[in-house]
Amino acid sequence: MLDIKKIRENSELVLKSLHQRSTEYTLEPIIDLDRQQREIQLVRTELQAKSNEIGKLVGQKMRSGANPQSEEIISLKQEGNDAKAKLAQLEPREKELKAKVESLLLELPNLPSKTTPVGKSESDNVEVRRWGDEYIPEGSNFLSHDQIGEKLGIIDSERAVKVSQSRFVALVGAGAALERALINFMLDRQIEAGYVEVMPPVLINSDSLQGTGQLPKFSEESFKCDKDDLWLTPTAGVPVTNFYRQEILRAEEVPIRHCAYYPCFRREAGSYGKDMRGLIRLHQFNKVELVKIVHPDTSEDEHQKMVKDAEAILQALKLPYRVLELCTGDIGFSAAKCYDLEVWLPEANTYREISSCSNCLDFQARRANIRFKEKGKKGTQFVQTLNGSGLAVGRTMAAILENYQQPDGKVKVPDVLQPYLKQDVLG
């Protein structure tokens, strides 16, 4: 959530930053409602002070022996009652205006970082670096990962659709084992890198989705349980960040670094051509997520390290990839700055996203009210939050199947996964 004080004092600057994302955003309704609320607050504060003063004065006069039925006492009490009656009218209106302001604030995205490239769409993203060109397989006529999976009998889409619907897959035999091996491998590596593993609930409440920015704006992108205030979470970043919702941490507790294996659920509305097949764009997919709760002073350094931690998985698997810095028109709703990792897929002859690492600064912390207290300092500060995929498991499997496919139709198992799978070839 954006700071209303910042909007009051620097509305033109805030609007300019929002328009780097999209010109659809406006601040006028928020500014107008906030002005009305503060005007009522000022009147209410004056009336409350007047009511308190009258009550105190009546008490003093009564203790001094004044007649309760005297004209002066009756007049003062009437004046106090009038003030209370006006307060009773103003308080609901003030609460209503505050709620409207907050509702509008919840619809606004984070402001892009000053270092985020300005652009309108993904075509304006900036390539930062590439790795692993020497591992790009030579040749042509590559099979897609879904073709490989079907030939090997390790991906079964037809039966998955039969028991569920389109955009679900079932992994069989070595396919299920490979998925499990990837999850264990990713978790082991991230734990070695200093993350503490968490296994959070799969069903989460609306407050959690609002805290990280999925609600109210993106309710249609998630699956909801109709009879309960519970949702299937779109990413582990939601429950893990919300572990600390409404908490005041000690300064020595941050940074907090978590990793979590998690099944993710997204509606993925629309048609995506070839992505309707295989493991690229599913309603349900597995992911190992990285989440950080940090001090504002270390936020940028922690972001760069998170990107490196995600890259380390691809490097260990010897999968070619590139890093993109997303432009203002392509970063996610809660992000101020974001890097995407894109892995090479030979059949498509292109790079595809496999991880997004976002620095949300204090945007989510304000929504979820996560703060910290430093010794010797008055008050509290908002933490800053970061999240990233370390990695999307299904897309990693897709990249392995395509990059490690052999002329005889088999698939070589990456060296680092062989101890987990207990085999060096699939097929």
pLDDT tens track, the chain, 427 positions: 999 999 999 999 999 999 999 999 999 999 999 999 999 999 988 988 888 888 788 778 778 877 778 877 777 778 878 888 888 899 999 999 999 999 999 999 999 999 999 999 999 999 999 999 999 999 889 999 999 999 999 999 999 999 999 999 999 999 999 999 999 999 999 999 999 999 999 999 999 999 999 999 999 999 999 899 999 999 999 999 999 999 999 999 999 999 999 999 998 765 555 566 789 999 999 999 999 999 999 999 999 999 999 999 999 999 999 999 999 999 999 999 999 999 999 999 999 999 999 999 999 999 999 999 999 899 999 999 999 999 999 999 999 999 999 999 999 999 999 999 999 999 8
The reply to whether 322 belongs to the active site is no
The reply to whether 129 belongs to the active site is no
Instruction: Specify whether the backbone of 158 is left (phi greater than 0), alpha (psi in -120 to 50) or beta.
Output: alpha
**pLDDT score recorded for residue 292:** 98
Long-range contacts of 216-222 (CB under 8 A, 24+ apart): 216/103, 216/106, 216/107, 217/106, 217/107, 217/333, 218/333, 220/267, 220/269, 221/266, 221/267, 221/268, 221/269, 222/265, 222/266, 222/267
**pLDDT score recorded for residue 270:** 57
**Domain 4-106: CATH class, spelled out:** mainly alpha
The reply to whether 130 belongs to the active site is no
- Provide the β-strand partners of residue 330: none
The reply to whether 358 belongs to the active site is no
The reply to whether 395 belongs to the active site is yes
- Catalytic option among 266, 277, 352, 367: 266
- Catalytic option among 167, 257, 281, 367: 281
**pLDDT score recorded for residue 59:** 77
Instruction: Tell how far CA 223 is from the center of its chain.
Output: 16
- Catalytic option among 51, 356, 358, 389: 356
Q: In angstroms, rounded to a whole number, what is the distance separating the alpha carbons of residues 145 and 397?
A: 8
**pLDDT score recorded for residue 81:** 81
| CATH code at 122-426 | 3.30.930.10
Q: Where in the chain is the domain with CATH 3.30.930.10?
A: 122-426
**pLDDT score recorded for residue 37:** 96
Q: Where in the chain is the domain with CATH 1.10.287.40?
A: 4-106
Q: In angstroms, rounded to a whole number, what is the distance separating the alpha carbons of residues 222 and 266?
A: 5
